[in-house]
Homo-oligomer: A and B are copies of this chain.
Amino acid sequence: MPETQYVHGYSAREADRLADQANALSDLLHHDTAYPRASLVLECGCGTGAQTIHLAASSPEAEIVSVDLIPESLEQARARVEAVGLGNVSFQVADVFDLPFPEASFDHVFVCFLLEHVPEPEKALLNLSRVLKEGGSITVIEGDHGSWYCHPSTPEAERTVECLVEIQARHGGNALIGRRLYPLLCEAGFRAVHVGPRLVYVDDSRPDLVEGFSKNTFIAMVEGVREQELSLGLMDEASWDKGIADMYRAAEPGGTFSYTFFKGTALK
């Protein structure tokens, strides 16, 4: 079941990709999230802890409870947090659709790249709201693969990304969820909903993002579903390989890359 839920899988390469993504984007995604001393924060869907270390470092005096479905991911997350010397995170196996916490347990809730992978994001938000105290905040960060484009582009490059969107949908997820974040938070009953886009634009004047985002985060993510794509036959192998090569071409000098994350905040 977990194997079918997370479209990108649980390989070591995927863990590296998630860390590259988190490091390249930490300022962009996390700079405006900090929780006060002694507040209790639930991070739901922490995976291997790629975002957890940024969350915990930004709020060193808050107490963070990071949960995930997969025990092996939690072990990696625990090791990652220990490796950077952070002591304010505890870990627990839990499912967003069956959270083992009483009502109003947490001062704040944080989720990053979780809703895009679950079949019922509305229900996930209601469950998160249940464990959040009245007046507490929720912060949700999600991507939107439909926001991606590059130059130069080709039909094959565009099709590889569409294939990933289709494969994620077959896993029950929605890779275009960023644009839906505002209505989702409103419909779940949160108030003071604010959604801000975080656009990553890359050209060769930004070599750190060429490596950290274009190649090691985005193209690596698309490449990561190669076997699933070929076994489903959404594209033939030669076209898929050309699409990936074309994306790498857009990460060369003269090329550009754009992608938008969405960060939503709201109060219960």
Residues of A within 8 A of B (CB): 144, 146-147, 149-151, 176, 179-180, 182-183, 186-187, 193-197, 199, 201, 203-205, 254-256, 258, 260
CB-contact partner of A147 in B183, B187, B193, B258, under 8 A: B258
Which B residues touch A150, using CB under 8 A?
A: 179
Contact B196 A201 (CB under 8 A): yes
Contact A183 B146 (CB under 8 A): no
CB-contact partner of A180 in B151, B199, B260, under 8 A: B151
Per the bound structure, the CA–CA distance linking A53 and B182 in Å amounts to 34
Contact B256 A180 (CB under 8 A): yes
* A201 and B194 contact, Cβ closer than 8 Å, known pairs A147-B258, A179-B258, A183-B254: no
18 cross-chain CB contacts under 8 A: A146-B149, A147-B258, A151-B179, A151-B183, A179-B258, A182-B204, A182-B256, A183-B256, A194-B205, A195-B201, A195-B203, A195-B205, A195-B256, A197-B199, A199-B199, A199-B260, A258-B260, A260-B260
Contact B179 A149 (CB under 8 A): yes
Q: Which residue of B lies closest to A204 (CB)?
A: B182
20 other A-B residue contacts (CB within 8 Å) besides A186-B254, A194-B205, A197-B201: A144-B149, A146-B149, A147-B149, A150-B179, A151-B176, A151-B179, A151-B180, A179-B258, A182-B205, A182-B256, A183-B254, A183-B256, A187-B254, A195-B201, A195-B205, A195-B256, A197-B199, A197-B258, A199-B260, A260-B260
